[in-house]
């Protein structure tokens, strides 16, 4: 039985390196979120994150070698920006914020721009880079009340998707830390009325 699984593994590696496989799906996921350094209260909405990467397929998460052949796709078969947005929503809820599904004109709205999400590998191992610019606006318009650039980069020498999971873990850990800060909480609370 071990011989059969070893042969199957060799066959899969041969297909990947030969270029016969055009797309390989990997689940974009993260491990259990850590507890925040501080909890907060408040409500906000989340605008659908936009994907500004130079890819033609919104489900693409990377590719093998410099030519990205075969291409790596999100196994969930949905846009990567939406998957990252879900992670940010979970991070906000972990900190204690309530996510409004029907925001008013004064509800603070978090928006995100995914400018980098790339998983690649070569003989030296796998690496995954993720970059998101997040902004909070009052009612989703006007000058940002808060903004932050999140970047994570992780690698794995053996298992390709482990680099991506580690990068997602780092990204969401950074998000939880930032959402726990007083500066973000004050932005969610909005400007205080004059006395």
List the CATH number of the domain containing 97. 3.40.50.10610
Asked if residue 20 has pLDDT above 60, the reply is no
Position 155 in a domain: yes
Does residue 106 sit within a domain? yes
> Would you tell me how many other CB atoms lie within 10 Å of the CB of residue 142?
8
Q: What is the mean pLDDT of the chain?
A: 88
By three-state DSSP, how is residue 174 classified? helix
Would you state the pLDDT for residue 195? 64
- Separation of alpha carbons 111 and 49, rounded Å: 6
For residue 194, is it within any domain? no
Q: Give the per-residue pLDDT at 11.
A: 40
Q: Give a yes or no: residue 20 inside a domain.
A: no
Q: Which two tokens stand for residue 39?
A: 């909890």
- Model pLDDT, residue 37: 96
Structural domain includes residue 144: yes
Asked if residue 8 belongs to a domain, the reply is: no
pLDDT digits (tens, 9 = 90+) for 93-142: 999 999 999 888 899 999 999 999 999 998 889 999 999 999 999 887 88
Is pLDDT above 80 for 173? yes
Q: How confident is the model at residue 194 (pLDDT cuts 50, 70, 90)?
A: low
Q: In terms of residue numbers, what domain contains 155?
A: 37-189
Q: Phi and psi of 55, rounded to 5°?
A: -125, 150
Predicted local confidence at residue 6, as pLDDT: 40
- Residue 9 predicted with pLDDT over 60: no
Overall number of domains in the chain: 1
Give the pLDDT confidence score for residue 193 in this predicted structure. 64
């Amino acid at each position: 039985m071990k011989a059969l699984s070893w042969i199957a593994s060799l066959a899969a590696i041969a297909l990947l390196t030969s270029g016969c496989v055009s797309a390989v799906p990997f689940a974009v996921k993260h491990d259990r979120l850590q507890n925040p350094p501080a909890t907060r209260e408040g409500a906000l909405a989340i605008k659908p994150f936009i994907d500004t990467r130079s890819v033609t397929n919104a489900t693409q998460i990377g590719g093998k070698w410099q030519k990205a052949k075969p291409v790596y796709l999100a196994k969930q078969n949905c846009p990567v920006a939406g998957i990252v947005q879900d992670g940010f929503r979970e991070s906000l809820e972990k900190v204690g914020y309530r996510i409004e599904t029907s925001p008013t004109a004064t509800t603070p709205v978090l928006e995100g721009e995914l400018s980098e999400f790339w998983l690649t590998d070569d003989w030296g191992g796998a690496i995954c880079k993720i970059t998101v610019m997040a902004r909070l606006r009052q009612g989703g318009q006007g000058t940002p009340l808060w903004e932050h650039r999140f970047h994570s980069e992780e690698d794995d020498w053996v298992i390709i998707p482990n680099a991506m999971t580690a990068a997602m873990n780092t990204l969401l850990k950074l998000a939880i830390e930032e959402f726990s800060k007083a500066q973000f909480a004050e932005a969610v609370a909005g400007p205080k009325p004059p006395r």
